[in-house]
Amino acid sequence: MDTAFFYFFALLVLGGAILTITRRSAIHSAICLIVSLVGVAGLYLLQKAEFLFAVQIILYIGGIMVLFLFVIMLVNLDEQAKERQFHGQWWIALACVAVVGAQVFFFIRKGSAAFQLGKPADTAPTAGNTEMIADVLFSEYLLPFEIASLLLLVAVVGSVVMAKKRI
């Protein structure tokens, strides 16, 4: 059952991503990106990261994508959608495809046993996911957490300064 769900979500993620970078209209791209992000959220759920599943839905889809849609609405993209959409840089893209394609081909040929990862841990989780995240976040990672709040403050001030016509 997990296998079927994995392939379903993988299809959502990759299909949405490919449509995102190939659509002509920015609105269509944004909607395909939402599909892709929902797929990523489903993968979080399969990996038993329930808290991050909720964060992904609320922050990414509810926050960032609405921001994107607002900006697409503000900047007028209609004339520019009629123009050429791609650079003439296909050789760089082809090089990327070759590298990762070789890796994926190797995986399909040899199966997952060919990759040497660390030994999987066999300890079961001791508490709920959210509880464990809070435990680690507010003890071991407290300083990075505070720095992240500073980053958000800088981003808020910076984006207002950027977007406003006259301060």
Partner 1 sequence: MLQPITTVHYLVLSASLLLIGTIGVLTRRNIVIILMSIELILNAVNINLIAFSQHLQNMGGQIFTIFVITDAVAEAAVGLGILIALFRNKETVLADQIDLLKW
| Shortest reach from residue 98's CB to partner 1, in Å | 10
| Shortest reach from residue 159's CB to partner 1, in Å | 4
Quote the CA–CA distance of 115 and 7 in Å, as a whole number: 20
| Shortest reach from residue 97's CB to partner 1, in Å | 7
At 24, list the tokens.
């002509």
> Residue 115: helix, strand or coil by DSSP?
coil
Answer yes or no: are the C-beta atoms of 64 and 33 closer than 8 Å.
Answer: no
At 65, list the tokens.
């994508």
Quote the CA–CA distance of 101 and 10 in Å, as a whole number: 16
| Shortest reach from residue 1's CB to partner 1, in Å | 10
Q: How many CB atoms lie within 10 A of CB 46?
A: 13
| Shortest reach from residue 31's CB to partner 1, in Å | 11
> Residue 124: helix, strand or coil by DSSP?
coil
